[in-house]
Structure 1
């Protein structure tokens, strides 16, 4: 998936630094810069045309709400996620078509939820092409149950068979994040096939539709899996 370019606008440096630390590991976001005022933001927006703006509300000279209204009058199509320490601005924020409204201190889980709202939906007809010495195969992403890294290759598991591709897990995650959820450094699973998870003494494992395989969930990713099933 193509990355979304993003700009942080906040008059407080510690707030900008914290949000930058939260955003940097998110592969779908290309953070192009920061602005410490609405005037500086307008100049950067005109120059770089970010697709997403993380916008503080309470700022001197021009508030985030006023800046959002200015952008709307300019027919700017950037998505806006407001960031603020105050909850009384929520109605005003959505009056200017905000995509989401995050209260400080911003939690990583809540930030990811907000970003998912602005990511483009994956195309239903998306597919990959796998080639070997004799055969070229076109495989729909909707048919892939999970992916597992195997040394230099990635195993692509379908309901009744599997194939090897030289495409890395990182490439799958970057290009098709709307399809796949990382559960281990070596495993991505198709969100649409996730059926449940099991907790054993040896660890956590996911159960999947259309296969009896139960890939392991690393300790690092267990919270994300639990959250997926708590929606």
Structure 2
């Protein structure tokens, strides 16, 4: 399966780097990008995607925006949070992610996340947020 993804990150260089790394896997196609959580949520509501890579410290993120949007959507994307801080693995948006990636993203860790996505989607497990 080729996973369709959105990247939600306010730093353009970080988005470009992750797009290139995901392309390298041959398993994930980035179909959209957003520079803030509000924009990312709106795009997830209008387009069905498999996985959202969301910057943990995205500017202007409301803690209730993501959980409310996920409850209202007719599908549930996998959420991967990205952070530059190795000691920060909390739930900034009130929703537990499937996985965390530390920036800069290590290719082997990204491969592990893609393998995890394979397992989740192979079992057709619905992630309950």
**TM-score computed with the length of structure 1 as normaliser:** 0.47
* Alignment counterpart, residue 74 of structure 1, candidates 72, 75, 87: 72
1:121 corresponds to which residue?
Answer: 122
Shift of 1:88: 4.2
The answer to whether the 8 A contact 1:72-1:96 is kept is no
- Residues 119-162 of structure 1 deviation map (CA, whole Å, 9 limit, x = unaligned): 1338xxxxxxxxxxxxxxxxxxxxxxxxxxxxxxxxxxxxxxxx
**What's the secondary structure of 1:23's corresponding residue?**
helix
**What's the secondary structure of 2:70's corresponding residue?**
helix
Distance 1:66 1:57 in 2: 14
Q: Which has the higher contact order (CA 8 A, sep 6+)?
A: 2
Aligned length: 120
Distance 1:88 1:67 in 2: 24
Ranges in structure 1 where 5+ consecutive residues have no aligned partner: 123-231
Higher percent of residues as strand: 1
**What's the secondary structure of 1:112's corresponding residue?**
helix
1:104 corresponds to which residue?
Answer: 103
The answer to whether the 8 A contact 1:11-1:37 is kept is yes
Distance 2:80 2:16 in 1: 17
**TM-score computed with the length of structure 2 as normaliser:** 0.79
Runs of at least 4 residues off by over 6 Å = none
1:5 corresponds to which residue?
Answer: 4
Distance 2:24 2:90 in 1: 30
Shift of 1:86: 2.0
Shift of 1:100: 0.5
Distance 2:10 2:68 in 1: 18
The answer to whether the 8 A contact 1:10-1:37 is kept is yes
Show the 5 A alignment for 1:24-43.
Answer: 24-43=23-42
